[in-house]
Amino acid sequence: MHAEVAIMTNQERAEEPVLRHDWTQGEAEALFALPFSELLFQAQTIHRRHFDPNEVQVSSLLSIKTGACSEDCAYCPQSAHYETGVKRESLMSLEDVLEAAQRAREEGATRFCMGAAWRSPRDGDLEAIAAMVEGVKALGMETCVTAGMLSDEQARRLKEAGLDYYNHNLDTSESYYGEIITTRTYQDRLDTLQRVRDAGMHVCCGGIVGMGESAADRAGLLIGLANLPRHPESVPINLLVRVEGTPLADTAALDPFDFVRTVAVARIMMPASRVRLSAGRSDMSDEMQALCFLAGANSIFYGDRLLTTENPQAQRDRRLFARLGLRMAGLGCWVP
């Protein structure tokens, strides 16, 4: 048993939580060890202080450059190190990207996230991405890009183009990181995150669970995120999509309640951030997703595809939202 976090008293519940950046491993593990109902109650109580609990932000994802990535991330179907059957595709044209963004907007997405399978972008590619950002902004959508490590100059260029969010994940705890990626370090990731912050963009940063890590590693991931100088505005919690051909293809499935616990602890540790129920929803029941929303998730990837793997059909999500009385943020109503 962990002594540091006891079940909250009524007085403690009434106190406004501050944004903390000094979480300890013991405190985070103690949250994970709480009885499930107590943890969800604490998370939902904090959630309601910061957000409308019935509103969910929806982002749509597009892979603008697919496969043949030089990195060896053990979870990733796009790594050139593994045979996964993902077809290599070069950078998409501006026209095709804008057409996809328009379709996503019509479906109800308010943010358009463009993902590129690179260790880091070349300067020429970055110019093409800057044009995509400008085009998507002109459609009235928020923009997000994930394209690997950035230099200071590249971060400034994306900010200048109007980029709202840059996604760059810590992926797992610092101590488990070496089991998952060897071609770039945890510190490399922190450096890119700092450059994104310094350039004045919002940070989207989270990780993956279900990679064979321990509960202590899940606590460590959330500590890495919450103890950044500023909390990421957007925190994607991905459930590993086990893709044939990757080293993690045969990893044992995570207990769904441990996934929900991770969402709840993320909500408690980063009370004002959007916590996104990200990859892996195709493997989740509607009931599990409802528990995630109760635990404080208030953002999803919406649309039939993630980058290279499937996501629930938009129609299924609309039905789920209607059944749960959830609204898409920015729309004021469900998309019929």
Closer Cβ to ligand SF4, 121 or 271, answer by number: 121
Of 77, 210, 224, 271, the one binding ligand DTB by CB under 6 A: 77
Shortest separation between residue 147's beta carbon and ligand DTB, angstroms: 10
Strand partners of residue 146: 115
CA distance 264 to 210: 16
Our CB check for ligand SF4 shows the closer of 73 and 329 to be 73
Query: Would strands 165-167 and 142-146 be described as parallel, antiparallel, or unpaired?
Result: parallel
- Catalytic residue, chosen from 111, 113, 189, 205, is 113
Binding residues for ligand SAM restricted to 96-125, rule: CB under 6 A = 115, 117-118
Q: Residue 85 is encoded by which pair of tokens?
A: 């059957």
Cβ closest to ligand DTB, residue 72 vs residue 334: 72
For the bound state, the minimum distance from the C-beta of residue 302 to ligand SAM, rounded and expressed in Å, comes to 16
Work out how close the CB of 56 gets to ligand DTB at its nearest, in angstroms, rounded to a whole number: 16
232 binds ligand SAM (CB under 6 A): no
By a kind-dependent CB cut-off of 5 to 8 A, residue 308 interacts, out of ligand DTB, ligand SAM, ligand SF4, none, with ligand DTB
Phi, psi dihedrals of residue 86, rounded to the nearest 5°: -70, 130
Query: Interface mask (CB under 6 A) for ligand DTB, residues 275-294, using x and -?
Result: ---xx---------------
- The 10 Å CB-count burial string (b at 16+, else e) for 206-230 is bbbbbbbbeeebbbbbbbbbbebee
Measured in degrees and rounded to the nearest 5, phi and psi for residue 317 equal: -65, -40
Binding flag, residue 148, ligand SAM (CB under 6 A): yes
Instruction: Judge whether 205 counts as a catalytic residue.
Output: no
- Nearest distance in Å: CB 18, ligand SAM: 28
Integer angstrom CA distances of residue 179 from 92, 186, 248 = 32, 12, 11
Q: Provide the 8-state DSSP code for 119.
A: S
Q: Which does 168 bind (CB under 5 to 8 A by kind): ligand SAM, ligand SF4, ligand DTB, none?
A: ligand SAM
* Angle in degrees, CA 36, 265, 38, rounded to 5: 30
307 binds ligand DTB (CB under 6 A): yes
Return phi, psi of residue 305, to 5°.
-130, 150
- Is 296 a binding residue for ligand DTB by CB under 6 A? The answer is no
Catalytic annotation on 73?
Answer: yes
Q: Is 113 an active-site residue?
A: yes
Instruction: Compute the least distance from the CB of residue 219 to ligand DTB, in Å.
Output: 19
Q: How far is CA 45 from CA 7, 124, 254, 294, in A?
A: 13, 47, 26, 10
Binder of ligand SAM out of 235, 240, 260, 263 (CB under 6 A)? 240
- CA distances to 130, 183, 208, 219, 303 from 262, in Å: 34, 27, 10, 8, 24
Which of these is catalytic: 157, 189, 204, 205?
204
* Residue 169 within binding range of ligand SAM, rule CB under 6 A: yes
Identify the active-site residue in 111, 144, 242, 318.
Answer: 144
Is residue 289 at the binding interface for ligand SAM, with CB under 6 A as the rule? no
Catalytic residue among 13, 48, 69, 195: 69
**Catalytic residue status for 276:** yes
Answer for which of 79, 167, 172, 192 binds ligand DTB (CB under 6 A) is: 167
Q: Up-side HSE of residue 223: CA atoms within 13 Å toward CB?
A: 20
**323 burial class (0-12, 13-18, 19+ CB within 10 angstroms)?**
exposed
**Catalytic machinery residues:** 69, 73, 76, 113, 144, 204, 276
